[in-house]
Structure 1
Amino acid sequence: MTREVSIEIKAGETGSSIATSLFSKGVVKSSQSFFRIAVSDSRSEQIAPGTHQIQRNICAQDALNQLLDSKRIVGLVNIVEGAWISEILPQLYTAGFAPADVASSLRSIKKPNGFTNTEGLLFPAQYSFAKGTSAEAAIASMVENANSAMQKAGFFSSGLKFSPQQLLIIASLLQAEGNTGDFGKISQVIRNRLKIGMPLQFDSTVHYIKKSRGSVFLSTQSTLISSPFNTYRRYGLPPGPINNPGLAAMRAATNPTPGNWLYFITVAPFDTRFTADIDQFNEWKIEYKKNLRAGKFRSSR
């Protein structure tokens, strides 16, 4: 069996640098041959940072293929935007972290000032943890990335009407409720409803309580669930984030699109409409139900 070696790929590393590493570790016979293959193949742009286990003494094309194989990345944890902690935990276990260590680290991890929940602070990204990395260090890196993203989004700027924790909650609602292009408008809807004391009534908060994915329809019974996260029964923002949002949602949380909208509804996948008129909203709701019965939402998340 061909022996494997560890190749560490840093974020933003150049093709020539990767080629040199592959040659020095005995993966390819020539750094130039790998560089030529990488330049001619657009897939090379998808090489992920992290520690890759690659066979030695292989051709340049096979080296590229192995670098593109996510199964060869050591300790891989891929957090998608909007993931719940309950969805991230199995990945941490698969990456080799003991459940007890993960649970202990989630309880004890140092959070940015003013934050009480770990949900929302595990920043979406692809992580690769080297063998021997502690659960505490792994989770700390996610929290550090979230803190950096919140700083970029202006969460800690002075003069804001919402605290950083509240902005993270808003960002999580945006992440769950719409597509990136609609984040700014939904951010304004939240502000408009809170301003007049109108309940948010977001389906996503009930889905979070029930831990239900892929369901578009929400029953009336579900809206009656007793939970502080149920924005059908409770006024104001939920007490914590309902997922782990990405940078785009964070930026929209601090930069809403101006408008007087109070209602929005996705009548079909990627067709979300906004209005301040309840009659218009109810007309769109009829259209939404028609599309739901026709199965137009079956392929949506």
Structure 2
Amino acid sequence: MRFLRRLFLLLVVLALAAGAAVAWWLNRPLPLSGPSVELSIESGMSPREVAQGWVTAGVQSEPLLLYEWFRWSGDARRIRAGSYQVGPGTTPRTLLAKMVQGDEAYERVRLIEGWTFRQFRTALAQAPHLKPATAAMDDAQLMAALGRPGIAPEGRFFPDTYTYSRGVSDLTVLKRALATMQQRLDAVWAERAPGLPLKTADEALVLASIVEKETGRGEDRARIAAVFVNRLRIGMPLQTDPTVIYGLGSGFDGNLRKRDLQADGPYNTYLRAGLPPTPIAMPGLASLRAAVQPEASKALYFVARGDGTSVFSDDLAAHNRAVNEYQRKTR
């Protein structure tokens, strides 16, 4: 009997010691091979593979210990796929909690109003921890991959700051930007002013892109939109330099010449009436709204003052005087 009692006490002591050792390990910071360790957990990875993945990535622990902790906690099957980053002070307990809560590591990429799609693609290619799934695709292939085959990409992506999980595809960001632009465009088109010379939301998108490129200061957007709407109403060519520059593409060297304005092409709005065939940039929300809700104005012309603002004129004579004053510096 005395032997059994001693044996029982010994087992209790051993159990307590083991429990204390486990508690100590669970709350002890894990040694890392560097300042931080990152791991991308793919959907379908087993808890054992996750444990091994952390060790391979740089968490200095026995993978079996991590796996047994995941399993013993009861949360092993609640680990979420995603990209995670851990730093100094991370314990086995907080490591598991991070994965169960989906506390992923995020990055941001900013896509600027007025950028062309080419500039969008460059920014995405340079964004950190973003898989370049579209790197080998041309624009047509990319749009097909996004479910919009046959649609030109220019103007179709909303300029904004996008947050993404590390390791995701650039298609993920593009899908969000594409869907956001469509939502914004549909919303403003539903609130358009009556009597606009625009037949479709896509035409509004084209006009908005021109307004975006022509606007030096935000307060001028609605009046600049009015100038182009007024020209469209009377069949007057839009006569806007940004469309010509867009048509020149990589051939534009920063200097728009007279011969460029005289060279016919689908984006030369000096020679062709109406809107160009596609947007020329990615317009922001303010330009979208201006295109469908232009200011009430009779202006047909505007000229830049040189400080970002513009002078608006209802007739050619007044416009010529403004050009002389602000462009030619003569009166």
TM-score (norm 1): 0.67
Q: Is 2:250 the partner of 1:223? A: no
After TM superposition, give the deviation of residue 118 of structure 1 in Å: 1.7
Mapped partners of 1:236, 1:278: distance in 2: 20
User: Which secondary structure state, in structure 1, belongs to the residue aligned with residue 223 of structure 2?
Assistant: helix
Work out which of the two has the higher radius of gyration on C-alpha atoms and give 1 or 2: 2
Structure 1 partner of 2:36: 3
**Alignment partner of 2:111 out of 57, 63, 79:** 79
Pair 1:193–1:94, CA change in 2 (3 A): same
After TM superposition, give the deviation of residue 100 of structure 1 in Å: 1.6
After TM superposition, give the deviation of residue 237 of structure 1 in Å: 0.5
Structure 2 partner of 1:192: 230
User: Which secondary structure state, in structure 1, belongs to the residue aligned with residue 235 of structure 2?
Assistant: coil
After TM superposition, give the deviation of residue 85 of structure 1 in Å: 0.6
**Alignment partner of 2:136 out of 79, 87, 100:** 100
Pair 1:53–1:152, CA change in 2 (3 A): farther
Structure 2 partner of 1:43: none
Structure 2 partner of 1:136: 171
Structure 1 partner of 2:96: none
C-alpha distance after superposition, 1:44-65 (max 9, x if no partner): xxxxxxx89685459xxxxxxx
Structure 2 partner of 1:15: none
Matches within 5 A, 1:90-169: 90-95=122-127, 96-98=131-133, 99-101=135-137, 103=139, 104-111=141-148, 116-155=151-190, 161=196, 162=198, 163-169=200-206
Mapped partners of 2:86, 2:320: distance in 1: 57
Question: What is the letter of the counterpart of residue 133 of structure 1?
Answer: V
C-alpha distance after superposition, 1:163-199 (max 9, x if no partner): 0000000110110011321111111111111111110
Mapped partners of 1:240, 1:108: distance in 2: 20
Matches within 5 A, 1:56-67: 56=88
Structure 2 partner of 1:243: 281
Query: Over aligned residue pairs, what C-alpha RMSD do you find?
Result: 3.1
Question: What is the letter of the counterpart of residue 36 of structure 2?
Answer: R
Contact 1:122–1:142 (CA<8 Å) still a contact in 2?
yes
Question: What are structure 1's unaligned runs of at least 5 residues?
Answer: 7-50, 59-72, 292-301
Question: What is the letter of the counterpart of residue 258 of structure 1?
Answer: A
Mapped partners of 2:253, 2:112: distance in 1: 15
Q: Report sequence identity in percent.
A: 28
After TM superposition, give the deviation of residue 127 of structure 1 in Å: 1.6
* Number of corresponding residues: 230
**Alignment partner of 1:272 out of 293, 302, 310:** 310
